[in-house]
Structure 1
């Protein structure tokens, strides 16, 4: 495929008037106060607040409009004028609300008061903060520490996250699963194994100096639109972009910059991908092996002709191990096997490989299209292999670039939200707070879900998120969730996780990031970490949605004081009054990453906490970067067979994670519904179906359990044969909790084995 590739269902390029209209629609639907426009002007700028959407970096030379479509939607969504007050429950029961859609629940507006579930009336009732904390503390004291899980989404700032992890460890466990368990944990595990770093190696300057980007399973148009600006700039200076993705994502096809008056007036678009290859779901291992084969063959030819080597021999010899075994695998791999497993042709892979060979500095970009497979870690190792062949890790304009999906999901790990004890400096915690931290590893999200289903987990505290919609085996999870002794949800709006309350259940409403967080020493800064390992200060300036809201940090402190014994070195009130004191603690715990933390908090572009692999220091057991020889040519744990499809779950242009803003997926031409299954014309015909027909998807995961999702309308779409698509989180009911990456346990949501059944 070439630069003229397009999706016939799409309304056109990413950005442009479509982006403006989409933002305007959300502005109208949320009835946000016009003052929100001033809030948007402060977004992603020093002295302003950092976006609550994706974790894309904020450049030092920021633009007057530092937000994208998704970031604007997220801000407008939280700035709604609608309020979900206690009297909302006069008209609704919990059971009734289970029939509401996710979008409608959130449209009820911002939560305004702490609430406790009343089983007699099947409603939530208002309580004071003191009553809420006291009730939560009483149950936590009664439960065994191993029975309680402290989950966090990627929203809370570094200060609250540090104290949340401290709360769990003072309570007596390391049960700190996090939203990365369900998306980029494969990055943390997979990259660490091969380059010794759990995060990407690229910084902003690399984007400005690269001459080629290879994309795998990442969709900037919907998930990180601010990425489109450096991509456009790269194209304008002559850089090449190659994309491997089963779905045609418009943001990687073409882009009209909404911040360019000329482009908006003329409709002039920038073609993003020079080559766009629709690899089949699970086929990236073979595709990347094919690219490596092109590189090795080109190097063999160069040696024969006495020309400059294609491989970076010096880098390979000095910085890597495992090359000889890997290159033998590359040479013996057959093109017929590569074509079969990737779903691509040899000529197309050769075209992509030649672009890689000719580039001086290459960045490998990826998203959950690589991480969410049974062999997701192998996908990442293969990408690292490709980059290492030409020394494209640890030098200017090159590197590996995972794109994180939540604003502070990476930073929370950095400051101690981790279930693995080896990732946390327990000795420092012991010294600082005079206690013995628990030494046993805690629960991963998969283990937590299994613990809920078995009854071993009896209490769940959720710092943000909508866990019941985010995890696999949703229906079983709902039943198990409601059987607990305690559920605590720190939230801004209603979501489905509130509708299956435990015996004791609390909703604790928190401030949004754009709102004033007024404490004893005034309005407080928080901080977040972006995907490039830069730390940014963030301060809200909007009036809070309710005078009864508390910050996430204040809520954590309130729970801790009601639960834990007094410790003179643990001063919750002081920390709540002055967040800079918490930053001092973080600096003492992680001195290399956070030196002069408070001094550098508002540096334009954030301050860099460093990355050893970026400097070619490999913190692997081998002290070198590791070439990985694949043991199979796909990233699946199941074979193909007649009637079995690979279901790829996707996000709409009109959502962020489990938050559904509306029903307009303009890039795919789907309006007014999410109840669809996308299939190519050949698959539709072979299955004896027709566009517009209603079908049911049934899990084909071989554990003897039936999982199904009905009422889906067959919709013809440009996809590889055998790959079908439908929306997340609705399709989580089809994914088994045991279907996950082998190393990280990240759910394999991009290749769920399913069958299709026609409905009457």
Structure 2
């Protein structure tokens, strides 16, 4: 159903983020899913020992048992999964592909849980129920006709460690190394940048560092919507006196007025608090310039301290003992122009100086970030420049300090640890080959998500298999990619609910219903446990508690083992044994991780006794697994020739830098409703946030309908989304924001980050014009 942007209502009142609004929203989502009686189960069993891990974000859980360790967004995900709604055979018989495509993303998922395997063929024009034996027979036949180079196996961060390990094992044992994963769309630059700088591609912080930090930099993220439990940690830190600095183009309500639903006083008064000590509204893409400005000022303060004999703000002993490359960075900063840093960051010199002073005075500093840093052409350089900033004061490897990329989906980090990605180290592949010596494990590097997208658009990829996710919509150029998927010979999706990618199957398409995190998983009558890894490298167990909706639903490990039996029946791999007992999967994982992640030793025992284990982070221990054996400073110039700058050379200053964002009623591509409570948007999602200055400069009114025209590196394809409501918002001039995935058709598949090929969703060059129908009306008058 097409949304009518004229019905969207804007409310600029300033009720606290969190608070009673979060409580009411939690009860509402359970009621809408017709499971109001389960709200207590959701609140009291999520993230608890012996129960299930939240199927939402990857923010760490509190160790031990807490009365409630969940949030509004987590409970939306839980209710969405625990629903008793399900589309029956009549629904699919009554909906052709065209009719399914006419439904909104919200309407598709609102049909409920998938419960039976479904087959689409071009002859039938519909999805029709089939049996599981047919599923595996069809898969073997279709992929056998194509061969490994013609297929790709996509892994979503929703899956478990056990399913992800099996997924990559099936692919590699069959001979396919095309293993794109959802990290290709999000934190790939974080891992790449940190691996080169500090020797490990994961964050160095633990949850208790929030309790010890004196300064917390929250960069390029909106935790009140995307990680509300992190917002509670920031709230507690601010109350005890730590300073929180938010660095983000949008001024988000969670930083200015937040009420923790677990804070009795705030709930009784209905008042929140300003969590952020300062909000620095950096220009989109201006973070690297800002970090360099803070470092340049810090070195100026250091010179002053040396001259006066005062304590120095840089940690000279740490730099000398643990790092290399400082002299080159210092020389680069000395030569850097203040005019350039101010212009490119969009931040006033006084604000940069103040931030540098705050940093110099803070004994321990954490830096957390999300997609606001990774979704840019120069994201790797930006994150390594942030690492430089942390290294200057020794803020890696001590309490209350460190780097913390906050992952989106609950096991996106675990997928990588399990090998569900297109390139793995030789040692890991050696171990995998040794564990399964009779299987012909391929060792070659495969296609990442960008490579799969390129081949889809060229029309030379025969099959896409997905372990969860919404591949075509999560990626760039979604309109073209969806059409390209329909040209494949074969698609297979393992899913809990319908999404838009499923509406574009290949000539033969399978849609397979799987158990979710909350579902009780019985194999041969025995309950099974899976595991996931959070943003702090803590691996914890998860056990579903709710009886599945139908006996025809299978778990992810069981489905993947069935695929393995169909594709690799003679590889000496006991697929049936692993499907029957997930402990056997973990025994294989333990041996494959030997010498790489030895914390997996006694994996099954640790999960059974403790429910969790934490993987060693070498950088946290100040052991640097880099080429030099030390943490490495890296010199990067301020980027001045990115996609937006190139577009302005062609189209002038009318070009805006557009960032895609989530609404508050959303998790990744899952849309729970039409509202964005904290930004005051109600009743629809087709909005674009613009500054008052940019509205005026374009002759547009607040509330006017506009069309957005992508104007990145030009090719023969028009990229435009129409009928968006212009909303005046506190955002820097020259910048704009719109919701993901509605705005992703504006981004060309070729607009990627350097080194890591992550889509540049946060730096899309666009032209904003009055909507076509309004132009026609004006011309007629």
TM-score by length of 2: 0.94
Other-structure match for 1:595: 601
Other-structure match for 1:52: 55
Aligned equivalents of 1:481, 1:10: Cα separation in 2:
43
Checking the alignment, whether the CA contact within 8 Å between 2:364 and 2:400 is kept in structure 1 is yes
Aligned ranges 1:391-410 → 2 under 5 Å = 391-410=394-413
Other-structure match for 1:318: 321
Other-structure match for 1:575: 578
Which moves more between the two structures, 92-101 or 627-636? 627-636
Residue 74 (structure 2) pairs with residue 68 (structure 1): no
Residue 549 (structure 2) pairs with residue 540 (structure 1): no
Aligned equivalents of 2:279, 2:12: Cα separation in 1:
17
> In structure 2, do the counterparts of structure 1 residues 198 and 711 end up closer, same or farther at CA, with 3 Å as the change threshold?
same
Please state whether the residue corresponding to 1:494 is helix, strand or coil.
coil
**Offset at 1:490?**
0.4
Determine which of 756, 765, 771 is the counterpart of 1:744.
756
Other-structure match for 1:3: none
Other-structure match for 1:733: 745
Determine which of 704, 707, 713 is the counterpart of 1:693.
704
Which moves more between the two structures, 276-285 or 90-99? 90-99
**Offset at 1:119?**
2.5
**Offset at 1:424?**
6.2
**Offset at 1:504?**
1.0
Checking the alignment, whether the CA contact within 8 Å between 1:488 and 1:508 is kept in structure 2 is yes
Gaps of 5+ in 2: 1-9, 775-781
Which moves more between the two structures, 70-79 or 587-596? 587-596
Determine which of 263, 269, 288 is the counterpart of 2:272.
269
Please state whether the residue corresponding to 2:726 is helix, strand or coil.
strand
> In structure 2, do the counterparts of structure 1 residues 71 and 496 end up closer, same or farther at CA, with 3 Å as the change threshold?
same
Checking the alignment, whether the CA contact within 8 Å between 1:649 and 1:750 is kept in structure 2 is yes
**Offset at 1:604?**
5.8
**Offset at 1:126?**
0.5
Aligned equivalents of 2:277, 2:426: Cα separation in 1:
40
Other-structure match for 2:375: 372
Other-structure match for 1:513: 517
Aligned equivalents of 1:608, 1:421: Cα separation in 2:
21
Other-structure match for 1:565: 569
**Offset at 1:636?**
3.1
Other-structure match for 1:103: 106
Aligned equivalents of 1:706, 1:143: Cα separation in 2:
32
Determine which of 471, 474, 478 is the counterpart of 2:482.
478
Please state whether the residue corresponding to 1:598 is helix, strand or coil.
helix
Residue 334 (structure 2) pairs with residue 346 (structure 1): no
Other-structure match for 2:259: 256
Other-structure match for 2:286: 283
> In structure 2, do the counterparts of structure 1 residues 605 and 644 end up closer, same or farther at CA, with 3 Å as the change threshold?
farther
> In structure 2, do the counterparts of structure 1 residues 753 and 424 end up closer, same or farther at CA, with 3 Å as the change threshold?
farther
Checking the alignment, whether the CA contact within 8 Å between 1:740 and 1:746 is kept in structure 2 is yes
Determine which of 629, 632, 635 is the counterpart of 1:629.
635
**Offset at 1:605?**
7.8
Aligned equivalents of 1:635, 1:27: Cα separation in 2:
48
Please state whether the residue corresponding to 1:725 is helix, strand or coil.
strand
Please state whether the residue corresponding to 1:600 is helix, strand or coil.
helix
Which moves more between the two structures, 39-48 or 707-716? 39-48
**Offset at 1:564?**
1.5
Please state whether the residue corresponding to 1:200 is helix, strand or coil.
coil
Residue 601 (structure 2) pairs with residue 612 (structure 1): no
Aligned ranges 1:487-526 → 2 under 5 Å = 487-520=491-524, 522-526=526-530
Checking the alignment, whether the CA contact within 8 Å between 2:599 and 2:613 is kept in structure 1 is no
Other-structure match for 2:719: 707
Residue 140 (structure 2) pairs with residue 134 (structure 1): no
Aligned equivalents of 2:208, 2:602: Cα separation in 1:
23
Deviations 1:506-563 (A, max 9, x none): 0000001111100026110000000000010000010112221000000001111112
Other-structure match for 2:680: 669
Other-structure match for 1:293: 296
Aligned equivalents of 1:98, 1:635: Cα separation in 2:
38
Other-structure match for 2:663: 652
Checking the alignment, whether the CA contact within 8 Å between 1:33 and 1:80 is kept in structure 2 is no
Other-structure match for 2:25: 22
Please state whether the residue corresponding to 2:700 is helix, strand or coil.
coil
**Offset at 1:616?**
1.1
Other-structure match for 1:4: none
Checking the alignment, whether the CA contact within 8 Å between 2:751 and 2:760 is kept in structure 1 is yes
Other-structure match for 1:553: 557
Residue 741 (structure 2) pairs with residue 716 (structure 1): no
**Offset at 1:25?**
1.9
**Offset at 1:261?**
2.7
> In structure 2, do the counterparts of structure 1 residues 745 and 635 end up closer, same or farther at CA, with 3 Å as the change threshold?
farther
Aligned equivalents of 2:32, 2:382: Cα separation in 1:
41
Checking the alignment, whether the CA contact within 8 Å between 1:10 and 1:667 is kept in structure 2 is no
